[in-house]
Structure formats: structure tokens, C-alpha cells
Amino acid sequence: MRFLILAALALTLVGCGGVSEAGSGGDKLTLVAYSTPREAYAQLTKDFAKTDAGEGVSFDESYGGSGEQSRAVEQGLPADVVAFSLAPDVDRLVESGQVAETWADDAHKGMVTSSVVVFAVRKGNPKGIKTWDDLVKDGVEVIEPNPFTSGGARWNVMAAYGAQKKLGKSHEESVEYLRELFKHVSVQDKSARESLQTFTGGKGDVLLAYENEAILAQEKGEDLDYVVPDQTILIENPVAVTKDAPDQAASFLDYIRAEEAQRVFGKAGYRPVNEALADEFQFPMPSGLFTIADVGGWDKVQKTFFDREDGIMAGIQREVGGALE
């Protein structure tokens, strides 16, 4: 009997909990994002509530690996605003009918921030890692997340590949470089943030990371430096609203592309997409900067490199694993 009473009590509690979530006297938006911009969005969602458009709006936020989060939304994770590491993770939701096809049809092509792939190294750069060739020298241990679960990893791989093409190598030679590179990768975490943890935890000589992650780690007191290689890819991070989202979601999107919010991103180490702020932050401009379009665009790249069965990376994972047994 006592158990039945307990159970009834529990169910009442659940009911109360459910009710209090729904009608808390304001609008609740859900933001589902990839792992790294947690700190930036925590600030921005608060700031947004102080604006006219955002009055009374509060946010539920969820962060995780970009692919992980995208799949979760596809599976039913409630989301009004999605912010992922790369465009294909938004396109997945276009295919499932949750995001409008026209999501990228705006002044910024659907992007909210940029970054570049950098080499994070130990303080003082004891192994003198400056170029992509340095990564494949004997005894250099590279940390890099798993390309099949992490958006950041895919940026890394395309940065490596594209850098080789920029240096004049052919497609085959560039793929060969990727093979070499992955022989040096000792740990593959699920997400970019987790691989940063691994690196700051003491493993590896160099971490392939987003520039903004390296900056964040330094701000949090971690002992590392980072090198912006001459050839690297421009990381473009998309943001979109879902079809059923309330109007405030679209207002939020406008807000985070406006000057004030872009400044917050800039201070957090992200490169703003808003041209008005182009000169405000002194981000280094690598001479050999290229974009994903330069290496074929995501649609082609996803098929060629990241197809689970026939993709180049799947093959490399198999070979590298085999060679080391």
C-alpha cells in the first residue's frame, strides 16, 4: 500500500513538473547546438532576453557532438533553433522535413560564425610544430576526433586534405597524406570538445582543433599554445530555425547576426560573419586559406570521404587499424 501511495505521489510530482515547464509565463525556446559554443550561447540567450524582440523569452539549451545532436533532433529531440558545426548536419533535418529548404538563403548563407582549423600544441611548442608536414614526423602524436561522429573532425580532415592540394599535391598524394596523418592519431574522441579534454589532459603532442576551442582553453587557464598553419580551411558554422518554431526563434537568429551578438562571439574566439566587425578583431589571415567549396563542397565531400562504407576515411580507418595490429 505504501508503495502505491508513493507511486501516486511520484506521478503527481511529474504532473506538476510538466505543468510548470509549460506555462512559466514566458516563451521557452529550445536551442540544440554542437559541443563548442556553449559558453557563447549561454551569454547570448541571456542578452537576447534583454532586447525588445526577445522579451520574456527563455532558453533550454542542449550541447553535444554536432552529428549526435543533429540525429537527436531527427529522432524527436525538441528544437526551435539548431546551431551545428557544419552544413550537412542541418541538411539532414531538411531531408527529414524539420527545417525549411531555404534555410541558407540569407545574407550570410545561413552561417553565424567562422573559424579556422589550427594546431593546438603544448606551451612553448617544444616539438616545433608549424606546418602540416610536421604533423607526420616521427614520434609526433596527433589528437583528432572520430570523423564519423564529430563535425570538428570532418573540418580537420578537409583542412588537411585541402592544405595538401594547396601545396600543389594531386588528389592521390593528398589522400596518402591523410593516411599518414591518421597513423599518427592515437585517440579518437566522440566530439571536438572531448578531444580538447583529452589533449589538455596530457595526451598527444598536437591537437587539430577549431581556433575558438584553442582560445577558450587558454582563457580557462589551460597550458597550451596554438599555431595557425599557412594552409587551412575556413570553418563555417550554420544556424537555422525549425519549421514549427515560434517567431521569436527567427528573431533570435537575426539577433545573433547583429553587431552586438557578433561582438560576443568575437570575444569568445569566433570569427564574426558580420562584415561591420571585420576590423575589430585581429584574427590572423592565413595566406593559404580556402573554403569547403574549394575542395568540392559538402555534398561531394560527404560522399567521397565520409561514406561509412566506401568513403576514403572509412578505408583509411580500416587500413590504419589493420597496419597497427
Q: Produce one character per residue of 263-281: b if its CB has 16 or more CB atoms within 10 Å, e if not.
A: bbbbebbbbbbbeeeeeee
Which residues are registered as beta bridge partners of 28?
Answer: 58
Please tell me whether residue 302 binds another protein under the rule CB under 8 A. Answer: no
Kindly indicate which of the ranges 106-114, 166-174, 179-187, 269-277 contains the residues binding another protein, using the contact rule CB under 8 A. 179-187
DSSP 8-state code for residue 97: T
Q: Please select the residue that binds another protein; options are 27, 47, 60, 180, rule is CB under 8 A.
A: 60
Q: Which three cell numbers stand for residue 218?
A: 587558454
Shortest distance, CB of residue 195 to another protein, whole angstroms? Answer: 10
Please tell me whether residue 278 binds another protein under the rule CB under 8 A. Answer: no
Q: What are phi and psi of 239, to 5 degrees?
A: -145, 145
Kindly indicate which of the ranges 132-140, 169-177, 182-190, 257-265 contains the residues binding another protein, using the contact rule CB under 8 A. 182-190
- If you count them, how many residues does the chain have? 325
**Residues within window 91-150 making contact with another protein, judged by CB under 8 A:** 96, 146, 148-149
Kindly indicate which of the ranges 30-38, 107-115, 173-181, 287-295 contains the residues binding another protein, using the contact rule CB under 8 A. 30-38
Query: Helix or strand or coil: residue 325?
Result: coil
Q: Please select the residue that binds another protein; options are 90, 94, 187, 273, rule is CB under 8 A.
A: 187
Query: Helix or strand or coil: residue 54?
Result: coil
Q: HEC states along 126-155?
A: CCCCCCHHHHCCCCCCEECCCCCCCHHHHH
**Residues within window 231-260 making contact with another protein, judged by CB under 8 A:** none
CA distance 183 to 104: 37
Q: Please select the residue that binds another protein; options are 20, 202, 279, 287, rule is CB under 8 A.
A: 202
Q: Please select the residue that binds another protein; options are 37, 67, 162, 238, rule is CB under 8 A.
A: 67
Containing H/E element for 314?
Answer: helix 312-323
Please tell me whether residue 310 binds another protein under the rule CB under 8 A. Answer: no
Please tell me whether residue 62 binds another protein under the rule CB under 8 A. Answer: yes
Shortest distance, CB of residue 230 to another protein, whole angstroms? Answer: 29
Please tell me whether residue 154 binds another protein under the rule CB under 8 A. Answer: no
Shortest distance, CB of residue 321 to another protein, whole angstroms? Answer: 3
DSSP strand pairing (142-143 vs 27-34): unpaired
In this structure, are residues 31 and 60 in contact, taking their beta carbons and an 8 Å threshold? yes
In this structure, are residues 290 and 233 in contact, taking their beta carbons and an 8 Å threshold? yes
For another protein, the binding residues (CB under 8 A) are 3-4, 6-7, 9-11, 13-14, 17-18, 21, 30, 32, 35, 38-39, 60-65, 67-68, 71-72, 74-78, 96, 146, 148-149, 185-190, 193-194, 197-198, 200-203, 217, 220, 222, 308, 317-318, 320-322, 324-325
